[in-house]
Amino acid sequence: MSDKNSSMEKLRKEFRRAIAIAVKDLRIYCLKPPVILFGVVFPFFLFISFYIGKRGPIASSIPGLVGISLFFTSSNIAPAGMPFERMTKTFARYLCAPLSFSWVVFGKTIAGFVFGSLLAILPLIVGLVAFATRITSVTTLVFTVLVSAMCFSSLGTLVATVPTEVPGNVMTVLNFIRLPLLFISGIFIPLNEMPLWARALSSASPLTFANDLLKSSLGLSHHYPLWLDFAAVAGFGLAFYAIAVLLFKVSTSAS
């Protein structure tokens, strides 16, 4: 029993320390220019440029706007912060802390998760107030935002493993990955209007399944079963996180 209590206490301590890392990252990096530009401004104008002049009710486009907001904001914190920490050598301090490496990466990921989840509320409010968007399943919407934000933040943490001290280099790699995933996700061209090969390609994007879930929660038709959407988003997130931990360990050992 004492060993079990000791393990639980260690787990609680590591969780609190990981949360402290997340709070620090949010306080320092959420207002950095790369985060504001690539996480907030860029996705908004990208969405507007594609939907301006589009026929049909704007309310049907709100899931896409929420999805883009989640995708870009959640994945921005770690890539914006890690180059600065490499430059100032502060990341190396985590290695001396009484904290396992996977929990350090978890703390970095939680920062993006919180940032993305909170900012995703803004386009949703716009849809509810201005365009009569309907939430048909609050439970599905909440779980979708949380699971998707964690998945996309894990993607950002994975890209943050790029060994550079220049934030622009990481952001270039990040957008090189994000933009193709965005354009094949079914946000701009519905999945049922894609040819078979394009629909098969879209399954490589976690945003495809997140957008499908958002459509379902807001009363619009969706393409896949909900259980498959949730499983896919969670699976992508776990894979991104596991690979990020591995690559951080490799890069730290090499240095």
pLDDT in tens, 127-157: 888 777 888 889 999 999 999 999 999 999 9
Q: What does the alpha-carbon distance between residue 92 and residue 78 come to, in Å, rounded to a whole number?
A: 15
SS (H, E, C) 98-145: CCCHHHHHHHHHHHHHHHHHHHCHHHHHHHHHHCCCCCCCHHHHHHHH
pLDDT at site 255: 54
pLDDT in tens, 191-223: 888 888 888 999 999 999 999 999 999 888 888
pLDDT in tens, 8-17: 777 788 888 8
> Residue 33: is its pLDDT beyond 80?
no
- For the segment 17-43, the average pLDDT, to the nearest whole number, is 78
* Cα 18 to the center of its chain, rounded Å: 18
Tokens 């992508």 map to which residue?
Answer: 236
DSSP state of 221: -
Q: What does the alpha-carbon distance between residue 170 and residue 252 come to, in Å, rounded to a whole number?
A: 17
pLDDT in tens, 159-194: 998 888 887 788 889 989 999 999 898 888 888 888
* Cα 242 to the center of its chain, rounded Å: 15
